[in-house]
């Protein structure tokens, strides 16, 4: 390598981290929850239960969330093109962000109606609440179980959290229904609706925070920039590391670029292959691009 710089790129594509195929899980979840939304909304209206209507509204947002997550999962598998050289992998990040937005809308709508019910409590049929919400527990818990194995993917985790939260919310509605049957107190129904809002808000905050960070190309959770830098700096022959960048390509795939100053010259392909293997298996970075430089001429303050 007689030139002042040597450029070498290794992309570490030996292991794929594309989203797992949850097509059947999404289809089953969407069908079951769409049917349940219709049932819950109708019986919520008939029984006068704001808790049931609130849960139906949340379930509707979950159906939309499942559709978004499914579309993003499918899009992420599409091949790269001349315009989208990474393919459509980042659509999974956009879906997670959109899902968080849907939850915020649902929270606002439910909270508005609940506050009106607190001001003017309405009679509620507790028995109907218990039966319908009991069905909801089965459907939501079953749907959540379909996404249990995909927790490493924020897009799938979003779908799981939606459904797991719904199962807990439905349990709360059952408890509220039983309490109304035993006491006849009307305030219990809107009070449970407020608890539902709190549960949704709690789950939404984590999803919103993570999806915003990923959309802004923040270093993904579970990856330490300092540890990666220390690993690269400690490699034989590396005198300095600069222009190190780590960002999410999708909710499951991470990319890295870095310049390594190696005065001894280009280390050869075995060095790059071992580096890519280490980044893949110990730092969860599957798409590294490394530039080798033989002098500090281009690193400036970065060194």
Three-class DSSP category at 155: helix
Q: Give phi and psi for 244, each to the nearest 5.
A: -85, 125
pLDDT (0 to 100) of residue 12: 41
- What's the rounded Cα separation, in Å, for the pair 64 and 11? 35
Report which of 41, 30, 32, 211 is spatially closest to residue 110, judged by C-alpha positions.
41
- Largest pairwise CA distance in the chain: 88
- Report long-range pairs for 15-19 (Cβ below 8 Å, ≥24 apart): 15/280, 15/286, 16/286, 17/252, 17/253, 17/286, 18/76, 18/77, 18/89, 18/252, 18/253, 19/73, 19/76, 19/77, 19/92, 19/150, 19/153, 19/155, 19/156, 19/250, 19/251, 19/252
Q: Which two tokens stand for residue 207?
A: 């999803």
Lowest-confidence region among 42-46, 207-211, 266-270? 42-46
Report which of 127, 97, 207, 124 is spatially closest to residue 163, judged by C-alpha positions.
207
> pLDDT > 70: what percent of the chain?
88
Given a cut of 60, is residue 38 above it in pLDDT? yes
pLDDT (0 to 100) of residue 122: 66
pLDDT (0 to 100) of residue 257: 95
List, for residues 239-265, the tens digit of each pLDDT value. Answer: 999 999 999 998 888 999 999 999 988
- What's the rounded Cα separation, in Å, for the pair 105 and 25? 25
Strand (E) or helix (H) holding 291: strand 287-293
- What's the rounded Cα separation, in Å, for the pair 82 and 108? 41
Lowest-confidence region among 149-158, 192-201, 203-212, 276-285? 149-158
- What's the rounded Cα separation, in Å, for the pair 216 and 298? 27
List, for residues 46-80, the tens digit of each pLDDT value. Answer: 877 776 777 787 778 778 878 888 888 888 888 88
Report which of 54, 72, 55, 64 is spatially closest to residue 34, judged by C-alpha positions.
64
Given a cut of 80, is residue 285 above it in pLDDT? yes
């Amino acid at each position: 390598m007689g030139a002042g710089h040597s450029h070498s790129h290794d992309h570490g594509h030996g292991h794929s981290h594309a989203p797992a195929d949850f097509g059947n899980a999404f289809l089953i979840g969407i069908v079951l929850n769409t049917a349940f939304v219709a049932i819950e909304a109708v019986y919520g209206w008939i029984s006068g239960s704001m808790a049931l209507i609130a849960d139906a509204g949340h379930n509707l947002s979950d159906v939309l969330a499942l559709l978004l997550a499914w579309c993003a999962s499918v899009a992420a598998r599409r091949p790269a093109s001349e315009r989208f050289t990474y393919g459509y992998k980042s659509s999974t990040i956009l879906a997670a962000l959109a899902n968080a937005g849907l939850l915020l809308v649902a929270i606002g709508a439910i909270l508005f109606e609940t506050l009106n019910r607190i001001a003017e409590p309405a009679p509620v049929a507790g028995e109907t609440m218990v039966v319908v919400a009991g069905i909801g527990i089965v459907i939501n818990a079953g749907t959540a179980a379909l996404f249990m194995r995909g927790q490493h993917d924020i897009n799938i985790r979003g779908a799981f959290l939606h459904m797991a939260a719904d199962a807990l919310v439905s349990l709360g509605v059952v408890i509220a229904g039983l309490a109304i049957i035993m006491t006849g107190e009307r305030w219990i129904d809107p009070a449970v609706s407020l608890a539902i809002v709190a549960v949704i808000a709690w789950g939404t905050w984590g999803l919103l925070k993570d999806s915003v960070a990923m959309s802004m190309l923040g270093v993904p959770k579970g990856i330490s920039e300092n540890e990666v830098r220390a690993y690269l700096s400690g490699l034989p022959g590396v005198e300095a590391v600069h222009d190190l960048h780590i960002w999410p390509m999708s909710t499951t795939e991470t990319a890295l670029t870095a310049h390594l100053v190696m005065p001894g010259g280009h280390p050869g392909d075995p060095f790059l292959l071992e580096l890519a293997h280490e980044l893949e298996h110990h730092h969860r970075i599957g798409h590294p691009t490394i530039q080798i430089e033989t002098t500090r001429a281009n690193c400036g303050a970065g060194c």
